[in-house]
Amino acid sequence: MDYNTNYERWFNCETLDPSLKAELIAMNEKEKEDAFYTDLEFGTAGMRGILGAGTNRMNIYTIRKANVGFAKYILGLENGKERGVAIGYDNRHMSYRFAVESAKVLATFGIKSYIFESLRPTPELSYAVRFLKCAGGIMITASHNPKEYNGYKVYDDTGCQLIPEWGDIVVKYVNEVEDELGVEVCSNEEAYPYMTWIGEEVDEAYYKEVMGIEINPGMDKSGFKIVFSPQHGTSNIPVRECLGRLGYDVVPVLAQCAPDPDYTNTKSPNPEVDMAYELAIIKAKEVGADVVVICDPDGDRLGVVAKHDGKYVLMSGNQSAAVYLEYILSQMKEKGTLPDNAVMYNTIVTSDLGELVARSYGVDVEKTLTGFKFIGDKIRKYEKTGEKQFVFGYEESYGCVIKDFVRDKDAVQAVLTAAEAGNYYKKQGKDLVDVLNELYEKHGTFKETQIALSKAGAAGAARIKEIMDNLRKEAPTTIANVKVVASEDYQASIRYEDGNEVTIDLPKSNVLKYYLEDGSWIAARPSGTEPKCKFYFSIKGHNAEDAASKTEVFHKAVLEMIGE
């Protein structure tokens, strides 16, 4: 169906929401095409897109369509109707409305729902699924995306985002819905008997679990100051409650504490972007804070800034995770609590530094595809077999989980770990950057960066496909005059090295990775949540200056290689 036909179908719908009808009337031809040229893609764990009218937009009709698919999946589970679905939502425009629409669609299928009474972080939704023994979960969020976006994520009964095996079932059901405008939804009155509002009981249980991750609970916390910002999002209350109850001195960035869908007082809600930290660093300088911690709007990612030699130094997700690992594993070893069969999980685009830290303590490392659902699935596997014991899991994109009572990234846990590690090392006369530098001295210096090429709309999608296709057709043998010694194509599930092909035992994914002779690597993949083609760089150098210099060269070489 072409975009004009889709547009007319919506325009002529007599029951269309009036606000969306007004948007249709105001659209120019380019806006019309982008809103209707395709259906908003429902991936294996949900969907994310710009808010507005159209089949390629987040609105009540695309939300209803998605929920029909998820409802049919739930009905296929044992006692799915009765066990029900936990539903959480963040501070974004339409989040509450989408949560209620989700519950109403589920009610139409006779499925119970447990809805948070107000906004909560994504990790608490994951916890709620487990705490309430639900058959699944829904989180309405677009994570760290700009204010124009919203999203819809679905979870299994362990609180893990659906892995492809089960997500494909939902996708099949979603794609069977031919007319999103015609999805039947029961009235509010008819839905109420199926809807239960949740809040304090789940909060308190979650807070207790988070506070229980302390490794040195009796450590004196005086003289250690933390500046915290929730970036107008969901982590404000959970983080301040947990840190406050444990006795930490927390200074909030009050201008960014209110749940504001327009993110009025932050230049970016994304911890991966330097300007997201501006107000927090200003506050840190005012109060002399030891660390700055900021969460993204749905509270699953954490960015850390450490005071080092009088300056505030932003740490990447790879760097902070390596320091957390060093603290956790060193303390577990010292206390004799490190399991002999311990395992740490990270992804194929995370730095090698975390792996080297883990292995230095005898901890096994297993890599997954990008997406925390794959880490959650690994945890589930070994939980059943007992073969290995989980001690840490993380992605490069500022997300980690310390204890597995949550099966998604958990910034609330990460804040507590950053605070405890920072306090511990300060008592030794060090800061978090000092610890990172010690790890570099021991394991080698790495610099991890990204290039994210934004390619919106139909033309952008075609360009992203072209980039990936061209890389497969003409695989580079050198990059910046450095030999490619091995490469991996996760879509073909093949690793190429020394003329040999080895099968990669991971689900298929559109990712290419190149290993270089100097110990560096570069990976390419289209984003699963944004219209971007991402390039990941893990560059190994003799020291920080060498790694930084080499990174600039590799950035330039890759852009030239793909014609950008």
Measure the CA–CA gap between 421 and 426, rounded to whole angstroms.
8
Q: Which residues of 525-555 are buried (b: 16+ CB within 10 A; e: fewer)?
A: bbbbbbbbbbbbbbbbbeeeeebeebbeebb
Give backbone dihedrals phi and psi of 375, rounded to 5 degrees, phi first.
Answer: -70, -45
CB atoms within 10 A of CB 200: 8
Strand order through the sheet with 291-295: 249-252, 225-229, 291-295, 302-308, 311-315
Instruction: Decide the pairing of beta strands 291-295 and 225-229.
Output: parallel
Active site residue 493: no
Q: Where are the alpha helices (DSSP H) in 176-218?
A: 188-191, 200-211
User: Catalytic: which of 102, 113, 126, 143?
Assistant: 143
User: Can you name the residues that pair with 251 across neighbouring β-strands?
Assistant: 227
- The answer to whether residues 59 and 85 touch, using CB atoms and an 8 Å cutoff, is no
- The answer to whether residues 421 and 432 touch, using CB atoms and an 8 Å cutoff, is yes
Give which of 39, 57, 37 is closest to 48, Cα–Cα: 57
Chain mean position to CA 42: 17
16: which residues sit within 8 A by CB, 6+ positions away? 10, 24, 181
Active-site residues, by number, are 143
